[in-house]
A and B are shown apart, each in its own frame.
Chain A
Amino acid sequence: EADIYQTPRYLVIGTGKKITLECSQTMGHDKMYWYQQDPGMELHLIHYSYGVNSTEKGDLSSESTVSRIRTEHFPLTLESARPSHTSQYLCASSEGTVYGYTFGSGTRLTVV
């Protein structure tokens, strides 16, 4: 079944640790996105990609980085986690704007 997967679902880590949040989709979509969602539920675009080897920063400044080496895979990395990174991270993919986005289930990150 075509879908988009995020792992882990929940993660609690200590300050200063390096982490990678995984996002994979089986739909062959070129366009992929990472959003950070505040406790107040507002969505902020932090990274996006329109294809392999193409990545751009989003509207919200983020200390994270992304890579797009394969169409189906769009991981997000934090080199040194801080408590301010505590949030929910949502990955999405799209065939084109007219179709909307398909979202993963999210990763809830807590940095202690």
Chain B
Amino acid sequence: AQSVTQLGSHVSVSEGALVLLRCNYSSSVPPYLFWYVQYPNQGLQLLLKYTSAATLVKGINGFEAEFKKSETSFHLTKPSAHMSDAAEYFCAVSEGYGGATNKLIFGTGTLLAVQP
């Protein structure tokens, strides 16, 4: 069965510093992987996704993530944090081979705080 682990429920960085949010997955089949962002009192917005093409995926707002099969990781990074990046971030993995069950399994989320 697939699962997702997000290390660190709270991460705090200074404005301009590197953002690194960690996500490890467990899957016996090639996964589809996603990062979503949630601002207060909003739904989730897709940041980027990996669907078996390029292993380095670029998303919106300057974020990117690298799929590393050997480490079963899909960490999210941004070179320079902005105050507007403060939000909750969720990693998700597809369930079933090729996403066959049409369901995503979400991690427990990481709350990113950006200090001025």
Which residues of A line the B interface, CB within 8 A? 6, 31, 33, 40-43, 45, 48, 50, 90, 92, 94, 96-98, 100-106, 108
Contacts and interface: CB of A to CB of B under 8 A. Distances in A.
A40 B101 CA distance: 27
A104 B43 CA distance: 5
B102 interface: yes
A41 B88 contact: yes
B49 A100 contact: yes
| Range, interface on chain B | 20 to 34
B90 A43 contact: yes
Contacts of B36: 100, 103
Contacts of B42: 105-106
Nearest to A88: B41
A31 B104 CA distance: 12
Nearest to B43: A103
Interface string B19-59: 00000000000001010101001111110010100000000
Interface string B80-116: 0000000010101011001111111010110100000
B43 A48 contact: no
Interface of B: 32, 34, 36, 38, 41-46, 49, 51, 88, 90, 92, 94-95, 98-104, 106, 108-109, 111
A6 B44 CA distance: 13
A97 B108 contact: no
16 contacts: A33-B103, A41-B88, A41-B109, A41-B111, A42-B108, A43-B106, A48-B102, A50-B102, A92-B43, A96-B99, A97-B95, A97-B99, A97-B103, A100-B46, A103-B43, A105-B42
A28 to B, nearest CB: 15
Nearest to A45: B103
B29 to A, nearest CB: 12
Contacts of B41: 105-106, 108
B51 A48 contact: no
A102 B49 CA distance: 13
